[in-house]
């Protein structure tokens, strides 16, 4: 009798845990399509705050913004992909031609809905590229592109000039200059638009 009760308890525990296990496993198949990627120059946003001594802003500096628009489709029963990775590529002229590239993992991507992911190059980063504070222009960006990866596999790519040019480009690759939105003054803007970066 005791053994029978123990077996029933084990079976019940397994049955109750099964949905949780399935949820933890997540989707196994993911498709994606990058509809667009826009690269623009944005000025530092200005905010006001109460209860603090305001300081002189000085001249507003410029940031480079790269945003992708994409949509996913997966076999997730919840219609949500726990995480995808985006690899960004920006070919810039600057002092020497180079490719700025960094990757970020984004969480809770909703299937069949438009999603946006974004990175920035700070004014100091642009100075490092161009060699002159405030001298960076949009014409200094020669090409841009991005890849979406799921479980280490590329499921979508985008290029403004056709083809995955970054796979054969001879320019030096530089990492660390493409910043997530959370590390910029744009963090408080468009909160419901951009995906969250995995911490």
Tens digits of residue pLDDT in 3-34: 545 444 444 444 444 455 444 568 999 999 99
From CA 88, how far away is CA 146, in angstroms rounded?
5
- Please state the rounded mean pLDDT for residues 144-163: 96
- Please state the rounded mean pLDDT for residues 32-39: 98
Token representation of residue 151: 């479980």
What pLDDT sits at residue 51? Answer: 92
Contacts of 112 (CB under 8 A, 6+ apart): 71, 72, 73, 79
Tokens 């944005």 belong to: 42
pLDDT at 92 over 90: yes
Evaluate whether 90 touches 66 at the Cβ level (below 8 Å): yes
Of 143, 145, 141, the closest CA to residue 64 belongs to 141
From CA 87, how far away is CA 145, in angstroms rounded?
9
Q: What percent of the chain has pLDDT over 70?
A: 87
Evaluate whether 109 touches 149 at the Cβ level (below 8 Å): no
Q: Which strand (E) or helix (H) includes residue 21?
A: helix 2-25
Per-residue pLDDT tens for 95-124?
899 999 999 999 999 999 999 999 999 999
Q: Which of 4-8, 68-72, 145-149 has the weakest average pLDDT?
A: 4-8
From CA 120, how far away is CA 67, in angstroms rounded?
9
What pLDDT sits at residue 47? Answer: 86
- Please state the rounded mean pLDDT for residues 49-67: 87
What pLDDT sits at residue 162? Answer: 82
Evaluate whether 149 touches 85 at the Cβ level (below 8 Å): yes
What pLDDT sits at residue 15? Answer: 45
- Please state the rounded mean pLDDT for residues 142-150: 98
81: which strand partners?
109
Strands 30-43 and 62-74: antiparallel
- Please state the rounded mean pLDDT for residues 177-191: 97
Domain locations in the chain as residue ranges:
27-46+59-197
From CA 119, how far away is CA 67, in angstroms rounded?
7
pLDDT at 197 over 60: yes
């Amino acid at each position: 009798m005791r053994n029978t009760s123990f077996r029933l308890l084990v079976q019940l525990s397994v049955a109750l845990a099964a949905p949780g296990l399935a949820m933890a496993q997540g989707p196994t198949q993911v498709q994606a399509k990058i509809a667009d990627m826009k690269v623009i120059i944005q000025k530092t946003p200005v905010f006001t705050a109460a209860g603090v001594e305001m300081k002189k802003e000085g001249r507003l500096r410029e940031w480079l913004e790269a945003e992708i628009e994409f949509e996913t489709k997966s076999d997730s029963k919840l219609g949500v992909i726990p995480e995808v990775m985006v690899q960004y590529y920006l070919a810039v002229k600057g002092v020497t031609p180079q490719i700025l590239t960094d990757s970020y993992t984004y969480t809770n991507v909703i299937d069949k809905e438009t999603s946006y992911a974004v990175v920035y190059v700070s004014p100091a980063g642009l100075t490092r590229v161009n060699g002159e504070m405030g001298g960076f222009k949009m014409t200094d960006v020669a090409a841009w592109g991005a890849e979406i990866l799921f479980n280490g596999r590329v499921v979508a790519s985008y290029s403004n000039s056709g083809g995955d040019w970054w796979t054969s480009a001879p320019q030096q690759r530089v990492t660390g200059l493409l910043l997530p939105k959370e590390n910029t003054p744009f963090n408080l803007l468009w909160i419901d638009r951009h995906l969250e970066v995995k911490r």
